[in-house]
Amino acid sequence: MKHVLFVCVMMSALTQLKAQSDNCNLRFSGRAVDMDHKEPLSYATLYINETQTAVVADENGKFMFEGLCPDTFTLVISHIGCTTSTFTIALTEDTFKEFRLDHTSENLESIVVHGEQDKNTGTLTETTLSGKKLDRLSGKSLGEALKDVNGVSSLQTGNGISKPVIHGLHSNRILIMNNGVRQEGQQWGNEHGPEIDPFIANSLTVIKGAASVQYGSDALGGVILVQPAPMPTQKGVSGDLHAVGFSNTRGGAASLMLQYKASDSAALSYRLQGSIKREGNVKTPNYFLANSALAEQSGAATIDYHRNNLHSQVYYSYFHNKVGIFSGSHIGNLTDLQTAFASDTPLVHQDFTYIIGRPYQDIVHHLIKNETNFHHERLGTFTLITAWQNDLRSEYDAHTSLIDSIAALGLPSLYFEIGTITADLKWEQHPGKRHNAVIGISGMNQQNITRYSIFIPNFKNYSGGIYAIENYKFGRVLLEGGIRYDYKWMQIFRYEGNTLETPTHQYGNLSGIAGMQFFDGRHTQYNLNFSSAWRSPSVSELYSDGLHHGSASLEYGNDSLVSERAYQIIAGIEHQSDKWYFDVGVYNNFIYNFIYLEPTLPAELTIRGAFPVFHYMQTNANLSGADVQTSYMIIPQLKAEIKASTLRARDVANNKWLVMMPADKISFDLEYQPADFKWMHDNAIHAGVEYVFEQKRAPLDEDYVPPPSAYTLFSAGIEGVIALHANEISWSLSADNLLNTAYRNYMNRFRYFADDMGRNITLRIKIPITGKSNL
Amino acid sequence: MKKITYLFILLPFLISINSCKNEETPDPVNEEELITSVVLSFENNADLSTSTFAFRDIDGPGGDAPSEFDTIRLNNGYYHLTVSILNESVSPALDLTAEIDEESTDHQLFYTVDGADITFDYNDTDANGLPIGLDMNVAVGPSSSTGTVTVVLKHQPGIKDGSISTGESDVEVTFVTETN
């Protein structure tokens, strides 16, 4: 970790300014570390009694206070598992200081994951997975990894496709920011997973709440930030190697990252990262899932220039995956679907194989971006992000063409290509003692092409937004307010018969945020936030026309749909003391004109029999729920943790439940940390149990089969770090679904046809690369 | 060194300009794969007269309702049935029957009778000795009856086993059937 510095450290490096004449402009920064191992105390809370200001350290224990007057201060540092300590600081100039705390229990920082202050948003709840917590999830897809965050679940299409769901919302209702750029693919589809490899990230952050003001329209449910590590600050070659093996799919993943800087003071630094993943057929407790293998390759390259107050970076990432679609889920008509439901086991059998047959998806995503920061002494920091991304999705049907000459071409049955250009300019005021303002504008141009069959039409769109956010601190209270306006113009190109039609749509709306945060100075922080966001209807909702093979239904768009608008209130309390940690969040999200698929009678007759018909309609929806997470140190080496989340999602206009909403769940985990043993340290043993309730709050008329029963899953694992010469090799061995329980998950679209994955034992190894040579 | 920065900033635009071909205007899509029509031709073994009954949904699933959906009406006797599977959404129409016959080890037609006095017997077999169903012997009984005949075309790539519950349905049409 020593070569990796966190974003705000970089920001502090950016802000290395000459001391200004104004007396009360001193900067006091430092690092909080563990007394024994000098391990960073991630997210330690630091509080200055005299000014009643508090900050939270970053992942590496680094923190910074700004706008201090020359004086003597009392600094209180608290961290879970540590004795809260008080230090006296005499400040006369900008100062950096390291503080050592007696850490009564080792490596706890890896477990403590919670909302931080002063990070990405002011007063919204956010959860970050990074460091050891993220390492424990390596090799998983983005959607699977994020399930670790309380309140986040995933909408799955088997093992290979997983979409994150925040407080019941997904797809077009959440935003994914891939290294600062809004991810644009075909996110409208339930079986279209995010085209991002989590190996590129060193932190994954989930912002729960309508954070549209800062990140753009559509963030009705929340925002996911995928952030790569900051560039190296020390000379030489460094990096890391991850290797992961899965027993269930007899698969594995590996990622290699190498970075280089010619000297500590060099302006340029470089990074290359690449990863591969290969998995065979998934094994449920009683059978293999036919054609469920997958293959993935991705990589990223970064060139970074940083001198004085100018910082510019070019980043390129590539993502490619090929995912087999479980043969048993491929159905031609309603009779096939009913035959599949009636059978306890899938009608298509296949033993283990790595071969990916038809049907399958083949997806490529390119992103190239530049981010340039310019720091001006008086005017503040300017950031310009420009990006181009191209997403190519090919879907291959179970059929090859009956006509040999067409079959020989090997073309997909459906192909989408969407290209997106985005530009974002942001101005941030210097963080002052009280005020902190951000103003930004952003623009986007997008063009979609569909080939071989028409499910959604071609379109192009232009959109733009302008926003301002102000944070105001007085004493222990932080107030936040922000407003944004977005406009979108879209033109559709489609054939009605043989006539080309080119209708246009325009949408323009405001988003807003208002929140407050109160920190009691020691242990507890209170948040209250109101936000409003909107989303224009997606092209699939406006113009879908025809047969949806995956669900044996006819889906019809509705070109008169209007924008959805969400009003959300979210309140949270987070408490951290010597032994206790708890984080409670409650929310209510009211969405006007919520777009959904309404089943419509009668069924429509086709050459494949009668198909159920669905039309896109609008209603008013209300989603309310709570996420609770609490942990307690029973003895210094033993920690118990409970996580629970609940959601009630109503169609209030029609007075019924909303379909496909995650069921309530609760989990209990115990973690024991034995003492170091010779060259093995940071050892831990953990065991957990998760209970997922039956989703009894589902509309029975909108689904073919009722939601599956409740289930209990057990997990266990051991992990540690091996000190081999100068290298610290992290390892872990964990088992999911330890008892090989046969279960079906309501949020998995294959639940109609087959059980979920059986026992899976995962071995993970991470080897840091620290080249001392100067090349 | 600032020139590097300008280049950095411009890079995504340079690439996007290059990729910004004006391709949004689509060509009308010819759905070659579509099956729009099933035509059943019953040849009376006695007088060699032919009765034809069809299901036609020229624009495919959804959109306009089927343009033709006949009731099968047959008199007592023995018939020779031949089936045509067509894509009439394109011009000229594509006859897919020969293609199905060519891939006969991956396809089978099934005839399920409910209530009508009519029986179907396979008159063709694939390379593995399993029935195909494009060529059938049909017997219509002497009694007056009304019921249904459901014609199902199954795609069973590599898994053909003679069972109607195997594979994916490409066609499933239920014809009302009257005999006397």
Distance CA A99, CA A65 (A): 14
Residues A33 and A164 in one domain: no
Overall average pLDDT of the A404-425 stretch = 88
Residues A345 and A205 in one domain: yes
Residues A692 and A581 in one domain: yes
Residues of B in contact with A336 (CB under 8 A): 168-169
Alpha-carbon distances, residue A293 vs A69, A324, A414, A620, A745 (angstroms): 62, 5, 20, 40, 20
Query: Coil, strand or helix: which one is B155?
Result: strand
Residues A466 and A382 in one domain: yes
Residues A87 and A140 in one domain: no
A190 vs A120: which has the higher pLDDT = A190
* Percent with pLDDT over 90 in chain A: 60
Residues A67 and A183 in one domain: no
Query: Angle CA(A456)–CA(A460)–CA(A462) in degrees, nearest 5?
Result: 135
Are A563 and A593 in contact, with CB atoms under 8 Å apart?
Answer: yes
pLDDT at residue A661 is higher than 90: yes
* Percent with pLDDT over 70 in chain A: 92
pLDDT at residue A144 is higher than 70: yes
A492: nearest CA in chain B? B24
Distance CA B133, CA B123 (A): 7
Are B173 and A610 in contact, with CB atoms under 8 Å apart?
Answer: no
User: Element (H or E) spanning A736, and its range?
Assistant: strand A727-736
Across the interface, which of A314, A547, A609 has its CB nearest the CB of B11? Answer: A314
Phi–psi pair at A372, nearest 5 degrees:
-125, 125
B22: nearest CA in chain A? A447
Are B60 and B34 in contact, with CB atoms under 8 Å apart?
Answer: yes
CB atoms within 10 A of CB A206: 24
Overall average pLDDT of the A611-618 stretch = 90
What confidence tens digit (pLDDT) does each residue in A557-580 have? 999 999 999 999 999 999 988 889
**Which residues on adjacent β-strands are paired with residue A44?**
none
The DSSP string of A559-610 is TT---EEEEEEEEEEEEE-SSEEEEEEEEEEEEEEEEEEEEEEEEEEETTEE
What confidence tens digit (pLDDT) does each residue in A296-340 have? 999 999 999 999 889 999 999 999 999 999 988 877 788 888 888
Tell me how many residue pairs between chain A and chain B have CB atoms under 8 A apart: 163
- Could you tell me the residue range of the domain that residue A23 belongs to? 7-104
Q: What is the pLDDT of residue B29?
A: 61
Task: CATH number of the domain at A570, please.
Answer: 2.40.170.20
- Among candidates A438, A391, A287, A220, which has minimal Cα distance to A758? A287
Task: CATH number of the domain at A38, please.
Answer: 2.60.40.10
Residues of A in contact with B12 (CB under 8 A): 368-370, 386-388, 421
Residues of A in contact with B100 (CB under 8 A): 402
The domain boundary residue, chosen from A104, A135, A167? A104
Overall average pLDDT of the B168-176 stretch = 92
Residues A219 and A289 in one domain: yes
- Say if the Cβ atoms of A545 and B62 lie within 8 Å: yes
- Say if the Cβ atoms of B168 and A388 lie within 8 Å: no
Domain membership of residue A415 (yes or no) is yes
Residues of A in contact with B24 (CB under 8 A): 447-449, 458-460, 491, 493
The CATH label, of 2.10.25, 2.60.120, 2.60.40, 2.160.20, for the domain at B33-179 is 2.60.40
Are A403 and B93 in contact, with CB atoms under 8 Å apart?
Answer: no
Q: Which of A36-45, A601-610, A645-654 has the highest mean pLDDT?
A: A645-654
What confidence tens digit (pLDDT) does each residue in A685-730 have? 999 999 999 999 999 777 878 899 999 999 999 999 999 887 889 9
Query: Both tokens of residue A108?
Result: 């706890």
Residues A151 and A242 in one domain: yes
| Cβ neighbours for B79, distance < 8 A, ≥ 6 positions apart | B42, B43, B44, B45, B137, B138, B139, B140
Q: What is the pLDDT of residue A26?
A: 79
CB atoms within 10 A of CB A377: 11
Overall average pLDDT of the B83-100 stretch = 90
A67 vs A198: which has the higher pLDDT = A198
Q: What's the gap in Å between the CA of A265 and the closest CA on chain B? A: 15
Q: What's the gap in Å between the CA of B46 and the closest CA on chain A? A: 32
At A394, the pLDDT band (50, 70, 90 cuts) reads very high
pLDDT at residue A11 is higher than 50: no
B91 vs A165: which has the higher pLDDT = A165
Q: What is the pLDDT of residue A624?
A: 97
Overall average pLDDT of the A724-739 stretch = 92
- Whole-model pTM? 0.84
| Cβ neighbours for A163, distance < 8 A, ≥ 6 positions apart | A143, A154, A155, A156, A170, A171, A190, A192, A193, A194
Distance CA A192, CA A211 (A): 23
Are A597 and A702 in contact, with CB atoms under 8 Å apart?
Answer: yes
Across the interface, which of B9, B60, B172 has its CB nearest the CB of A335? Answer: B172
Residues of B in contact with A457 (CB under 8 A): 26
Average pLDDT of chain A?
87
pLDDT at residue B32 is higher than 70: no
Residues of A in contact with B8 (CB under 8 A): 303, 305, 312-314, 370, 372
Across the interface, which of B28, B36, B100 has its CB nearest the CB of A402? Answer: B100
Residues A133 and A96 in one domain: no
Overall average pLDDT of the A7-31 stretch = 49
What confidence tens digit (pLDDT) does each residue in A469-485 have? 998 888 889 899 999 99
A358: nearest CA in chain B? B157
Work out how many domains chain A is built from and give that number. 2
Q: What's the gap in Å between the CA of A447 and the closest CA on chain B? A: 7
Residues A354 and A227 in one domain: yes
Residues A368 and A457 in one domain: yes
| Amino acid at the residue A592 | Y
Distance CA A678, CA A722 (A): 9
DSSP designation for B64 = S
Q: What's the gap in Å between the CA of A756 and the closest CA on chain B? A: 22
Distance CA A282, CA A249 (A): 5
pLDDT at residue A348 is higher than 80: yes
What confidence tens digit (pLDDT) does each residue in B102-160 have? 999 999 999 999 999 999 999 999 999 999 999 999 999 998 999 999 999 998 888 89
Residues A203 and A83 in one domain: no
End-to-end CA distance of chain B: 94
- Say if the Cβ atoms of A388 and B36 lie within 8 Å: no
